[in-house]
Structure 1
Amino acid sequence: MKRFSLPNRITGLFTRKEHHTLLGGQGEVEKKIVFSLAKSRFPSYAQLHYLPKYLNPRERLALRCLVGLIMIALVFVGIRFYERNVEILPDYGGELVEALIGQPQYINPVLAQTNDTDTDLTRLIYSGLLRFNEQQEIVPDLAEQFEISEDQKSYTLKLRSGLRWSDGEPLTSDDVLFTVETIQDTAVLSPLSPSLRGVTIERLDDLTVRFTLNEPFAPFLTTLTFGILPTHIWGDVLPSNLRLAEYNTRPVGSGPYMFDSLQKNRAGDIRTYTIVPNPYYFGGKPFIPKITFRIFPDFETAMEAAKSRKVDNVSFVPRNLKSELINERDVNFKALLLPQYTAVFFYQKNELLKDKSIREALARAVNKKEILSQALGGDGTIADGPIPQGFVGFHKDIKKYDFDTAAARKVLDDSGWAFLEGETVRKKGSRELRFTLTTVDQPEYVKTAELLKQYWEQIQVGVEVVIIEPSQFEREILRPKKYEALLYGELIGFDPDPFPFWHSSQSLGEGLNLASYFNKQADKLLEEARKINNADERSAKYVEFQNLLIDDLPAIFLYTPSYTYAIDEKVKGVVATRITVPADRFNGITNWYIKTRREWK
């Protein structure tokens, strides 16, 4: 009997034919009966049920494979359709546990400026008139709008209507007035006092206040990001008793979160501090309903807790401990760029280092890429000037002193600093080319100093590295400017204004002009720039200033470090890329989430 192929057998089962192959016997009769009774050519379920009996084993296997492939294709198409038509959205839920280092003392915006734990908690519990967003741009917070007068001396801010404190009490301009007057009260000793010196404030109505300055000051808006205190809570507290009040650890604020609870050990130290969403927050309900901060005395203890999964996030991970956490669990290390640069500052009153040719040779002998790799483990970016990328005035085409040891030697040769056979350092006459490099005893600085010593000894310059304990550094080195060359970092702050670091007036006393740099034209540009609110005009002044600074070479800019924030992989929505202070990592906290939900588009 002739064997039929699988397609022919299936076709024979599913279709009528005027002429079909003789099968003979009872099977042919049954087939004729089936075809005569069928109302359509497409088989019924009952007919399909008999299909396997109609096929031989090989054909049944082939059919099963075909059906399997069809099912897989349908599943794949279904998944693709689902993915294209359903979006994953943040949802309310979950709990975040973060490690903080150091005891909270003053969760109070008037006092919390020197303790990172205080500023972290203050940022979450209080709101300011203005705030920084994730891109470090000034945006409205409690104030919905502001106006600057034509003479740029008056700033008028209007509060949002319906604002309330976390206890439900109304928030008005009286609270703003009270906060500013508290900061300016000399009995309070607020770290914010210098930023509001000479500033007057007046209440125009329940929602409006006006600040008046003695002269234009472009960075003033960044000053208005401090948190506002509730006068109904603090109004009866004597200024001299402000630091003793219970509300410093159990605050009432207006931020996205509010105080919930704290736990102490037998010694009275706070072990955990829990916050929950503020139901009266004007900016919308955060997705994370509970954040618990576990307080640790040092980074080593915090890292042990992270490795054992007792905490999700770690507020800061020192570079020397980062590898420990990488090997133990899956976390995302968020590298947040700081508005800070590390540089070698040449004290301009030093007779040897006043010679620009020496400074140029030293600059050309430095391998910044190697320093960034070996001293920071790559956690940062190379710096060539005093204004970091992303700030007004960043100079992308700034003059660079590229690493070139041979060129560095030639600069010294041409300027009369000879290296004679049998000598260890260069000389000009009887004078040796030798100086001290002073820095603070921190791993990053110590390693950088070691590398600098190597680079400079390769061009026959004698360098003695002096390492000072952190507790002694400010008093014994910085204030009296007791150094020849100084390896140190300067934190710029919220605004890139270089005035505090490079204007000649800041060379005196405890000023931050660490090189004692003086250039009349540079002074003039800095004075003019800080009075200009227009970003483009101000930027042009800063670019011109930087051209002068880099040409004069009072310092070698090395790198901008990054701040490493360890974030558990379950936490999503953290988009910040740079910060000014550690608390800035919480900018955009209302957009963070742990849980998700799916919705059809």
Structure 2
Amino acid sequence: MKLRLTGGVRGVAGGVFSHLAFASKYLLSCAKRAVSGIKSMQKSERWSLFGLIIIFLILIFIKGREIYLSKTTTVPKSGGVYRELDIGQVDYLNPILAKTDTERSVSRLIYSGLVKVDQSGNIVPDLAQSWEVTPDGLTYTFYLASNIYFNNGAEFDATDVAATIEKIKDPQTKSPFREIWSDVIVTALDRETVSMELPYPYGPFIYNCIQGIVDSIDVEGSLVGSINGTGPYKIEKIATDKSGKISQIELTAGNSNYLNSVLISEVIIDLGKEANGGLGSLEKYTAIFGGSPDDQNFIEQSFTINRYLALIPNIRGEFLADQINRDKIFKDGIFEQEMPLTLLIQDVEIQTSIADKLVEDLKVKNIKLEVLRLSGPEYIQKRQSREFDLLLTGFDFGYDRDPYSYWHTTQLDQENYAGYSDKSSDIALEDARMMQDAGERNKRYDQFFDTMREKSLIKFFEPVECNFFVSGGLKGVEQIIASKPEDRFNSIGNWYLKEGRIKR
């Protein structure tokens, strides 16, 4: 198509072109004179001129950058690979079977529960958008979020919750969580509503609902091979070593669920036995969990969890059943005659260190302490048979410090290793765990532990610290508040490796 111009427009256009032609000739003339002038300059003068031009260009660049930075701000950007060296072992990733700290940590990235713990340690909605508890504390009703999908594309609904809990309760499954769910009746009222009936009020029950939920189809199949969750990441690849043990797990952010947005697009977990793990240079890692690297490029973000080592006496014997004798051991006092006692510990560094100090401290009290250092299975067997005078053991309280399983009379053949039985204490423990208010529950727990210390029945040591180091390239990691090791990932949605700039 031809463009026709009116006479007036042609006149204006002609004038513009004539002016442009004149300007071009003028600039060309100036350029020729400038080149001619430069050629006529002395060599030193030309270098000075070039230097001034370079300085001028640098100043323009600096000023331009200042203007750009003042008009824009840094924001997190999606992408990047988070690679962690974890000093642990993985056999199962399915949350029904996950038992070790490392298994539960990786499972936390793949699966979601009805509720979750936020970065401040508070219970908040996850797969359940809300819930109700009856006044008697016996029935919990969860109202599920809609349009939630597993990583395999299946839609999440109430039947998945019921199927997961029933699988945990099945003795054939051998789930480590069977005991806390065995008496709970779970019913899918409709696709988006789940009812849970408890045999008795249990205030901390809501923490049990952090349990990862599995696709009901996977529940009917192999719990080992099927790994499909509603969490922010999905399995991309699992590598094994020559012995068949899992050595590396690759995860990718592939779930579109609205409640699980993350900025880091890929997570790689390498499994090792020590800080350097025999895996080469630490430069490739974004974080180290469970070890203490010497590399100065890592920033310590270690955190304590609700797990303690404690010294307890076996009061089944006549000598330690007498509080006067226990007071001399746990408080002030010296025995007139040398008293031989045995201390059972697991042969690991932290327990050995505490035991060595106890030997020296009790020697001053005229106690000859024989330390029984045993490997894991042997330690558990001897602890279960109560073949000790003093025991160094772990108390893993998790999200609630309920001491019931360690001190109630009904637990004498289970984890009540001290052999403690007291009716008033039993009632106090029963009342405390029925309270819905966490603050009131903790007050009762504090009172109970104060009583145990007064009776010289327990001595707690410092809480367990989880070593966690991150590289300077990982942003958004704030102080970690955790009850369990896997809680370090509670705020992974805020972590990022890449940055961009946007207009202010």
Provide the identity percentage: 26
| Per-residue deviation, 1:277 | 0.8
Return the alpha-carbon distance in structure 2 between the equivalents of residues 504 and 598 of structure 1: 62
- Which of residues 519, 529, 536 in structure 1 aligns to 2:422? 519
- Which of residues 436, 454, 460 in structure 2 aligns to 1:557? 460
| Per-residue deviation, 1:308 | 4.1
Q: What are structure 2's unaligned runs of at least 5 residues?
A: 1-58
- The 8 Å contact of residues 91 and 245 in structure 2, kept in 1 or not, is answered as no
Q: How does 1:68-87 map to 2 (within 5 A)?
A: 87=73
The residue that corresponds to 2:367 in the other structure is: 461
Q: TM-score, normalised by structure 1?
A: 0.69
- Which of residues 215, 219, 232 in structure 2 aligns to 1:256? 232
Q: What are structure 1's unaligned runs of at least 5 residues?
A: 1-70, 365-407, 418-425
The residue that corresponds to 2:387 in the other structure is: 482
Shift in CA distance, 352/108, structure 1 to aligned 2, threshold 3 Å: same
Return the alpha-carbon distance in structure 2 between the equivalents of residues 330 and 132 of structure 1: 30
Return the alpha-carbon distance in structure 2 between the equivalents of residues 556 and 294 of structure 1: 37
- Which of residues 353, 378, 401 in structure 2 aligns to 1:472? 378
Letter in 2 for 1:512: E
Return the alpha-carbon distance in structure 2 between the equivalents of residues 193 and 163 of structure 1: 26
SS of the residue 1:109 aligns to:
coil
| Matching of residue 299 in structure 1 with residue 274 in structure 2 | yes
Aligned length: 449
| Per-residue deviation, 1:593 | 0.7
Q: How does 1:132-211 map to 2 (within 5 A)?
A: 132-211=117-196
Could you list the per-position Cα deviations for residues 91-143 of structure 1 after superposition, in whole angstroms to 9, with x for gaps in the alignment?
Answer: 11211111234553322111112x33322221111111111122222111100
Return the alpha-carbon distance in structure 2 between the equivalents of residues 348 and 595 of structure 1: 58
Return the alpha-carbon distance in structure 1 between the equivalents of residues 344 and 246 of structure 2: 38
Q: How does 1:310-389 map to 2 (within 5 A)?
A: 310-317=284-291, 322=292, 325-326=293-294, 328-364=295-331
| Per-residue deviation, 1:284 | 4.4
The residue that corresponds to 1:4 in the other structure is: none
Q: How does 1:101-116 map to 2 (within 5 A)?
A: 101=87, 104-113=90-99, 115-116=100-101
Specify the structure having the higher radius of gyration (Cα).
Answer: 1
Shift in CA distance, 266/538, structure 1 to aligned 2, threshold 3 Å: closer
| Per-residue deviation, 1:295 | 3.1
- Which of residues 499, 502, 514 in structure 1 aligns to 2:407? 502
| Matching of residue 93 in structure 1 with residue 68 in structure 2 | no
| Per-residue deviation, 1:85 | 7.4
Range with greater deviation from structure 2 (85-94 or 103-112)? 85-94
| Per-residue deviation, 1:576 | 5.0
| Matching of residue 437 in structure 1 with residue 343 in structure 2 | yes
Return the alpha-carbon distance in structure 1 between the equivalents of residues 470 and 355 of structure 2: 31
Shift in CA distance, 576/192, structure 1 to aligned 2, threshold 3 Å: farther
Return the alpha-carbon distance in structure 2 between the equivalents of residues 306 and 146 of structure 1: 48
- The 8 Å contact of residues 456 and 463 in structure 1, kept in 2 or not, is answered as yes
| Per-residue deviation, 1:181 | 1.7
| Per-residue deviation, 1:581 | 3.0
Letter in 1 for 2:389: E
- The 8 Å contact of residues 307 and 463 in structure 2, kept in 1 or not, is answered as yes
The residue that corresponds to 2:476 in the other structure is: 573
| Per-residue deviation, 1:83 | 8.0
| Per-residue deviation, 1:86 | 5.5
Shift in CA distance, 279/556, structure 1 to aligned 2, threshold 3 Å: closer
- The 8 Å contact of residues 337 and 560 in structure 1, kept in 2 or not, is answered as yes
Q: How does 1:232-251 map to 2 (within 5 A)?
A: 232-235=217-220, 237=221, 242-243=222-223, 245-247=224-226, 251=227
Query: Pairwise CA RMSD of aligned residues?
Result: 2.9
SS of the residue 1:338 aligns to:
strand
Return the alpha-carbon distance in structure 1 between the equivalents of residues 383 and 243 of structure 2: 36
SS of the residue 1:530 aligns to:
helix
Could you list the per-position Cα deviations for residues 147-206 of structure 1 after superposition, in whole angstroms to 9, with x for gaps in the alignment?
Answer: 000111000001111111123221111111211221122222222211111111111111
Show structure 1 runs of 4+ deviating over 6 A: 81-85
The residue that corresponds to 1:448 in the other structure is: 354
